[in-house]
């Protein structure tokens, strides 16, 4: 294993870092987007009682997502402070990966209402492992490459994730759709096997970055880590508070993330309810989003190299705004497929470039980057809550999801306005 002072731009470390995205993105696509939501509603009653409260099964699923994000948003800042002060970045990356994988594997035991608690708790644990690991994974980027390579390496990570998750989704769908031919009692058993495969894929491929990324230093203090980790977080917060460009970027990132993440979570729901898409068509949309996102991640990395990060982000936000207003008037399935292709293109670009842009704004020479990325991560999680709640609230008021997409458009406009005031320095031409 490499030491913490490993040389920057080492191809072995870069590929290993990208393979972590390959490992954990399978959970994001197969579990949270493609297979588990439908499975959850199919094996549970339409109305369930949890802690004495009656609710729909879809509401319970949504609450499970919210609880996961709120818990990790609450604990990741202090954990990142501990990781920075005590040099425990790799320790926490391993911890959350194992936690998430175990949670994912436990979903095999979720068969029906009698095992509802296992399904809900296992899903929440897996979500916490997934979201928690991302904080420490992202913080490795400034540790392994020089600033001039942030954009392309960040794009490489996202592209590995998109490709790996699509490959595993195709395999799992093939098994599920041909369950009886392959000797399974029914599709439910094959679906539960998919959860096991994802968990093993996740923990298995994560061994590559675990072995090749910089190891935690052994000479860092271990006493009073909680107190000193909190002080580390406070120190970073003060740095962020006096940096106008970091504050402006994070504010813009918060606004447009509310739009981006809500689109990703609810695009399939919009297609099903507003345009009568079937299950097969919804899966096709997910595949389109993932595959086109690979192209988008690299394309906008090139645009950034040509005109700079700020120009590239502003251009993508303009496209996102147009997409939202186009969704308001789209009425045919062909139109939505074209819209989904556009979403995929800017989805890959905006996620990849946001991470690399923030890396460039972190003060030069900073070694302890986990605390900086905890702010980034928490804002994204809170943005998901804001965007999805706002989407649902507007739909409830107006009775139409089309009105809700206009709200998402306003998030992108606000993000553009705030970002236009920021100055982003990097090796590309000044913007």
Domains of the chain, with CATH numbers? 11-419 (1.20.1250.20)
pLDDT for the residue numbered 199: 95
Give the pLDDT confidence of 174-200 residue by residue, as tens digits: 888 888 888 888 888 898 999 999 999
The pLDDT assigned to 87 comes to: 65
pLDDT at 110 over 90: yes
Transcribe 316-348 into DSSP letters: HHHHHHHHHHHHHH--SHHHHHHHHHHHHHHHH
Q: pLDDT at position 108, please?
A: 94
Which residue did the predictor score with more confidence, 254 or 132?
254
Paired tokens of 286: 């997910």
pLDDT in tens, 356-392: 888 888 777 666 666 677 777 778 878 877 877 777 7
Whether the CA torsion 294, 283, 381, 197 is positive or negative: it is negative
**pLDDT digit string (tens) for 16-43?**
999 999 999 889 888 877 788 778 877 8
- 3-class SS of residue 47: strand
Computed over every residue of the chain, the mean pLDDT equals: 80
Is the model's pLDDT at 309 over the cut of 80?
yes
pLDDT at 221: 53
Residues of the chain with pLDDT > 90, as a percent, come to 19
Degrees to nearest 5, angle at CA 164 with 294 and 99 = 120
Q: Note the pLDDT of residue 6.
A: 47
Q: Say how far apart CA 127 and CA 385 lie, in whole Å.
A: 15
Closest by CA position to 118, among listed 35, 27, 25, 44: 44
Stronger pLDDT, 128 or 217, i.e. the higher one: 128
Q: What is the mean pLDDT of residues 345-354?
A: 83
pLDDT for res 86: 55
For every residue of 340-403, DSSP letters joined together read HHHHHHHHHHHHHHHHHHHHHHSPTT----HHHHHHHHHHHHHHHHHHHHHHHHHHHHHS-HHH
Q: What is the CA radius of gyration of the chain?
A: 21
183-198 burial by CB neighbour count: b if 16+ within 10 A, else e? ebeebbebbbbbbebb
Examine the pLDDT at 226 and tell me if it is beyond 70: no
Angle of CA points 183, 189, 193, to nearest 5°: 95
Question: What pTM was estimated for this model as a whole?
Answer: 0.73
């Amino acid at each position: 294993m490499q030491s913490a002072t490993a040389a920057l731009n080492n191809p072995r470390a870069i590929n290993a870092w990208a393979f972590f995205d390959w490992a954990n993105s399978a959970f994001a696509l197969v579990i949270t987007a493609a297979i588990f939501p439908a499975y959850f509603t199919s094996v549970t009653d339409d109305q369930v009682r949890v802690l004495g409260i009656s609710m729909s099964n879809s509401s319970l699923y949504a609450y499970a997502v919210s609880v996961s994000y709120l818990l990790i948003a609450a604990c990741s800042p202090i954990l990142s402070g501990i990781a920075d002060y005590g040099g425990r970045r790799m320790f926490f990356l391993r911890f959350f990966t194992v936690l998430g994988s175990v949670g994912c594997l436990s979903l095999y035991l979720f068969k029906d209402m009698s095992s509802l608690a296992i399904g809900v708790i296992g899903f929440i644990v897996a979500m916490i492992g997934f979201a928690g690991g991302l904080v420490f994974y992202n913080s490795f980027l400034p540790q392994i490459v020089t600033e001039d390579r942030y954009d392309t390496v960040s794009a490489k990570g996202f592209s590995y994730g998109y490709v790996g998750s699509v490959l595993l989704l195709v395999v799992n769908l093939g098994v599920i759709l041909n369950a009886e031919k392959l000797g399974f009692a029914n599709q439910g058993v094959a679906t539960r096997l998919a959860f096991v495969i994802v968990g093993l894929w996740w923990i298995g491929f994560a061994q590559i970055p675990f072995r090749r990324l910089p190891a935690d230093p052994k000479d860092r203090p271990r006493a009073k880590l909680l107190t000193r980790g909190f002080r580390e977080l406070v120190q970073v917060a003060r740095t962020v508070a006096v940096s106008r460009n970091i504050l402006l970027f994070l504010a813009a990132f918060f606004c447009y993330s509310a739009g981006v993440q809500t689109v990703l979570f609810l695009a399939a729901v919009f297609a099903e309810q507003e345009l009568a898409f079937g299950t097969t068509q919804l899966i096709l949309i997910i595949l389109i989003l993932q595959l086109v996102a690979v192209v988008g991640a690299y394309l906008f990395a090139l645009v950034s190299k040509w005109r700079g990060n700020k120009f590239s982000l502003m251009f993508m936000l303009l496209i996102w705004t147009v997409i939202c207003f186009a969704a308001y008037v789209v009425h045919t399935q062909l139109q939505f497929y074209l819209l989904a292709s556009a979403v995929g293109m800017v989805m890959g670009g905006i996620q990849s470039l946001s991470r690399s842009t923030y890396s460039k704004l972190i003060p030069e020479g900073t070694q302890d980057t986990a605390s900086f990325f905890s702010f980034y991560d928490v804002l994204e999680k809170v943005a998901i809550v804001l965007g999805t709640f706002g989407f649902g609230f507007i739909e409830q008021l107006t009775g139409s999801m089309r009105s809700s997409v206009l709200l998402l458009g306003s998030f992108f406009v606000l993000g553009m306005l705030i970002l236009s005031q920021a100055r982003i320095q990097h090796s590309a031409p000044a913007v």
